[in-house]
Amino acid sequence: MRILPLLLALNSLGPWAISAQGTSPVRPPRWILSYAGGAGSLQYSVDDFVRLIAAVDSTGRPKTWLSTGIVFAVLKTRSGNHFATWAGTPFASGADWEAYASEMFKPGGVLQRLDSATALVGGALGESRLLQVVMVTLYPEAKAESISVFGSTYRFTNSEAQARASAAYVDTIAARFDSSHFANLQLRGFYWLHEEIHGQEEQVVPAVAKAVHAKGKQFFWVPFYTGWGVESWKQWGFDEAWLQPNYFFNLKVAESRLDSSVDRARRLGMGIELEFDGRAYSNPSYYDRLDAYLRVLGQAPDLQSRGVLVYEGGGGLVSLSRSRVKRDQGLYQRFVAAFATDHEHARSSEK
């Protein structure tokens, strides 16, 4: 029996990353949201990715695994068209989605650099892993009327046409991932970009979920705190969802928002998103807000075991890991101790 296919099959059964060497599952699941391949994001070098998937020392050397996998998101093209269609026109075209896919899969592209980073971390730690990857799905904006992508045109006269466009995108991305034969990456599933669900989307999303599940993959969602449809997230066909507290970004929002987010996520069977960006260490007004997330997360072991997603503003964590400012280094160590997949190792390396 071939060992690697067996490990891949076992890994698809649950939310834990499995070591490529066949060691025990890594708990709890930890995900980083990466804005790669679009405007306003890092180019994500191999070293950038190392710092998203591993906790590093002051020289940049990996000390322990940090995350289970990467969830890829994209908001707009480099020319300014919107993948996140809630931002309005100009909407991304089918050609934009094809260009995004090409940037992710091309030789030396985003996924190949992540594959190389995973190999480097595994080599440094003496423990190879199959890093989990979640790819963003195309959101078919009905106001665009139609989209031509991957050789077919879809006219959005009804929700069925929108769903078929997304399903075709899922099929194409899954096929490209399989044909790329990444040595250290496994495609776990797809992420629905829109952060609330209502209206026509109530028919689109369940159909897309069926397409994702038909590929043997999982469907993920990250709604904002007051988004439509949060209470019904399982009804839409999602396998896992993380609630956005939306506390870090608005100084007028009280810290009690984090407590209510934990209570709501717990009641709905959701995970929680940990949010910050570069202001966590560059702006004194925001510095303590990341610590508040870490404190609340530390008091909710059930949500830790359910899985945590980190929004780091497209490079906030990378920059924090490189900072030589003592206060920033302390914040980074507190983040690692709260978030790393190997908690015992992370806390011992902090001392």
Phi first, then psi: what are they for 65, rounded to 5°?
A: -65, 135
CA atoms of 276 and 250, how far apart (whole Å): 11
pLDDT value for 166: 93
The answer to whether the Cα torsion of 56, 71, 17, 262 is positive or negative is: positive
Q: From 123, 140, 122, select the one nearest 131 (Cα to Cα).
A: 122
Ranges under pLDDT 50 in the chain: 1-26, 344, 347-351
pTM: 0.90
The answer to whether the Cα torsion of 282, 283, 287, 290 is positive or negative is: negative
- What domain range includes position 164? 28-350
Count of structural domains, the chain: 1
Residue 82 domain-assigned?
yes
CA atoms of 90 and 131, how far apart (whole Å): 34
Residue 157 domain-assigned?
yes
SS3 string, the chain, reads CCHHHHHHHHHCCCCCECECCCCCCECCCEEEEEECCCCCCCCCCHHHHHHHHEEECCCCCEEEECCCEEEEECCECCCCCECCHHHCCCECCHHHHHHHHHHHHCCCCHHHHHHHHHHHHHHHHCCCECEEEEEECCCCCHHHCEEEECCEEEECCCHHHHHHHHHHHHHHHHHHHHHHCCCCEEEEEEEECCCCCCCCHHHHHHHHHHHHHHCCCEEEECCCCCCCCHHHCCCCCCCEEEECCCCCCCCCCCCHHHHHHHHHHHHHCCEEEEECCCHHHHCHHHHHHHHHHHHHHHCCHHHHHHCEEEECCCCHHHHHHHCCCHHHHHHHHHHHHHHCCCHHHHHHHHC
Residue 22 domain-assigned?
no
Structure tokens at 84: 């996140």
Residue 183 domain-assigned?
yes
Which CATH number belongs to the domain containing residue 343 in this structure? Answer: 3.20.20.80
CA atoms of 83 and 92, how far apart (whole Å): 5
CA atoms of 261 and 268, how far apart (whole Å): 10
Residue 6 domain-assigned?
no
Q: pLDDT tens-digit profile of 209-259?
A: 999 999 999 999 999 999 999 999 999 999 999 999 999 999 999 999 999
Structure tokens at 278: 């570069």
pLDDT value for 108: 96
Residue 95 domain-assigned?
yes
pLDDT value for 40: 64
Q: From 309, 318, 244, select the one nearest 280 (Cα to Cα).
A: 318
Residue 13 domain-assigned?
no
Residue 12 domain-assigned?
no
